Amino acid sequence: MEKVKTTCVYCGTGCQLWLKTRDGKVVDTKPVMPPEFSPGKGKLCIKGWHVHEFINHPDRLTDPLIKNENGKWEKVSWDDALNYITNHFKQVMSENPDNRRIIGCFSSAKCTNEENYVMQKFARAVLKTNNVDHCARLCHSSTVVGLGASFGSGAMTNSIDEIPDAEIIFIIGSNTNEQHPLIGTRVLEALKKGAKLIVADPRTIPLSELAEDNGGIALQHRPGTDVALLNGIMNVIINEKLYDEEFVLQNCENLDAFKEEIIKMTPEEASRITGVPKGKIIEAARMIGKAETTYLIYSMGITQHTSGVDNVKSTANLQMLCGNVGKWATGVNPLRGQNNVQGACDMGALPNVFTGYQSVTDPVVRKKFASEWGIEEKEMDEQIGQTVVEMIDAAYQEQLKMLYVMGENPLMSDPDSNHVREALQKTFLIVQDIFMTPTAELARVVLPAASFAEKDGTFTSTERRVQMVRKAIEPVGYSKADWEILSLLAQKMGYTGLNYKNVGEILAEINRTTPIYGGITWERLEQNEEGLQWPCPDTSHPGTIFLHKEGRFSRGKGYFHPVSYREPAELPDNDYPFILSTGRTLWHFHTGTMSRRSKTLHERVPEGYVEISQEDAGKLQIEDNETIKVATRRGEINIKARVSHKVNRGLIFIPFHFEEAAANILTIAAVDPVAKIPEFKVCAARIEKIIK
């Protein structure tokens, strides 16, 4: 048996693990143990321990497939599949020579940095469009916008290792111990050292109970009221003069306008809106205001709202107000849900930026990339492209003629799945993936991709740490690495600028074009087992543990944004009296493509469920494990009830991993006006007993 060290492909923690191989198959997984480096410190979560189980699953795609006139799949050669796609690309582009919005590309947070770079380059240099986006639009686009506007950088400010040294840990909208278990262990370390924990979440999560048991506070606020809660906390901090006046005056701007807004949200008003007792709001404010260091953590409970950008700006406001930016064990720390969602953003798999967040509308930047890519600047798309949701809508309107999806499953992950299905059926859909996903079933062409165990590259973790992904086995069947497929397709399209010999050449190009990655070379990563954290501008730079040191914000000064509370897009009424929220469980991941093909994980949680409060279950005469109907204005599903103390009266929660009871059939497609992120956390729903 041989073993290869690599990076886990599930959440964004970046845990290092060994893949053990025998006879060309991955047969086991073990954690990398101290003294060798791993963010997991010698541990893996339940998904990490069983990450090998899906790699050789019999469902793996092994051959290119084209759907024939009868709707049946036919195996074809790579040459035939790529020619088929190329002919359609060329035809559509020739029929619409001046239309940059006829073709779209979905990149992927499951793929490597190098593959995301190649995908956005393929879109821009070959297809001549900025219509490229990925699932960050659905999870952390509001982080990129909100923190970018406040600090000048949209990334996690501090590092995981700092958590145990914080005096206060404030977790809002993150079920950390279930979604990022190895980061959760750092929170437990902090509590053992005497830290206090404040948890704000509409559900009772494990950390809520832990906070109360260790002298902290649990704030169970109504979904979608985060701005009111945070403004109420800051109101107390300002009125009681608990903020860091020296830090604010030296390093921040727009304080007066910000104060005018905050003063409106008294603790009494915040309590009325959020449902959190006034005394708890005041107590939380005093704990944060009096602490030397507060480490703030959030995740999709903050971002996935029509007010997502405002929510993020409010977290930044709070931490600037208390001087908790630019020093150890502080900061605003959004936890990335997927292994490479940070890297996919860094690589420019977004419609408005090239790599390193360089604007597509800046002619100087376009000229630089045109020169590197060997194309004419005048050929490039000068306008911001469409987002994931906008491309789906354009497909529905039959304006988007072709959609190329790499490693994404929008039929499961996007809101209002019935609308998504209709849209995908109206466009020429190409899907490149490791399994036949529900999205791939709708495609005209399916291309088999290599898994993370079958290729080299890098992932960037939630703490901006770039780490290596190493090939353990040969690709299954005739599958190929995603970057190799795109390279072959580009050649068919007549473009040779993607003819790389290996991923090291791709990373070298990233180094040349991307200042924050300038010093993160393949050679340095091979020699540095800890990886490197960006910004790392040159090869003499050690990488950056935390951002905005000593108040030197990336934008110059930190900016206080006056943010007022806005209600969610859809609230309960007589017809739909419940609030539905969606999310993940400990045992499964995202759309279930990988985790539901893990025997161990599937056996633990084989089917979907809806959490309902004991009070609501009693009123509706619903028994635990009874199949019920959940409906919204978008659709309905039948699903098992799980009667639980985790949700309050009037709130229901559904994990979105399960195709048979797909939560996103129900969710609303309303989006944040700036980041265009959908509101997965709040919509109005109805529950019905099924009469047999």
Each residue's pLDDT tens digit, 386-436 = 999 999 999 999 999 999 999 999 998 888 899 999 999 999 999 999 999
**Region of residue 568 (left: phi > 0; alpha: psi -120 to 50; beta: else):** beta
Asked if 25 contacts 56 with a C-beta cutoff of 8 angstroms, the reply is yes
Q: What is the pLDDT of residue 503?
A: 97
**In the chain, which residues have pLDDT < 70?**
none
Q: Is 515 exposed, middle or buried (0-12, 13-18, 19+ CB in 10 A)?
A: middle
- State how beta strands 252-253 and 428-433 pair: unpaired
Quote the tokens at residue 414: 């996007």
- State how beta strands 636-644 and 683-689 pair: unpaired
Longest dimension (CA), the chain: 72
Q: What is the pLDDT of residue 657?
A: 84
Whose tokens are 């973790």? That residue is 461
- 213-245: buried (b, 16+ CB within 10 Å) or exposed (e) per residue? eeebbbbbbbbbbbbbbbbbbbbbbbeeebbbe
| pTM check: above 0.85 | yes
Tell me the C-alpha distance between 241 and 243, whole Å. Answer: 6
Whose tokens are 């990334």? That residue is 155
Q: What is the pLDDT of residue 237?
A: 98
Q: What is the pLDDT of residue 589?
A: 79
Provide CB contacts within 8 A for 238, sequence distance 6+.
259, 262, 263, 321
Neighbours of 591 (CB within 10 A): 24
Asked if 181 contacts 586 with a C-beta cutoff of 8 angstroms, the reply is yes
Q: What is the pLDDT of residue 403?
A: 98
Whose tokens are 């480490």? That residue is 295
Q: What is the pLDDT of residue 302?
A: 94
Q: What is the pLDDT of residue 590?
A: 78
Nearest-10 crossing angle of helices 503-513, 363-373: 150
- Main-chain phi, psi angles of 392, to 5 degrees: -60, -45
List C-alpha distances in Å: 348 to 114, 130, 481. 11, 10, 19
Beta strands in 213-326 (DSSP E): 217-219, 252-253, 294-298
- Please report, as a single letter, which amino acid is at residue 679: E
Q: What is the pLDDT of residue 393?
A: 95
- Main-chain phi, psi angles of 307, to 5 degrees: -105, 25
User: H or E segment at 47?
Assistant: helix 46-49
- In the chain, what are the domains? 1-70+102-138+340-494 (3.40.50.740), 141-334 (3.40.228.10), 578-689 (2.40.40.20)
Nearest-10 crossing angle of helices 226-239, 308-321: 20
Tell me the C-alpha distance between 17 and 278, whole Å. Answer: 46
- Please report, as a single letter, which amino acid is at residue 300: M
List C-alpha distances in Å: 424 to 113, 127, 132, 455, 657. 27, 20, 16, 29, 20
Going by the DSSP 8-state scheme, the letter that residue 402 receives in this structure is E
Q: What is the pLDDT of residue 424?
A: 97
Each residue's pLDDT tens digit, 95-149 = 998 889 999 999 999 999 999 999 999 999 999 999 999 988 888 889 999 999 9
3-state secondary structure 299-349: CHHHHCCCCHHHHHHHHHHHHHHCCCCCCCCCCEEECCCCCCHHHHHHCCC
Distance of CA 393 to the CA centre of its chain: 21
Whose tokens are 């995603």? That residue is 482
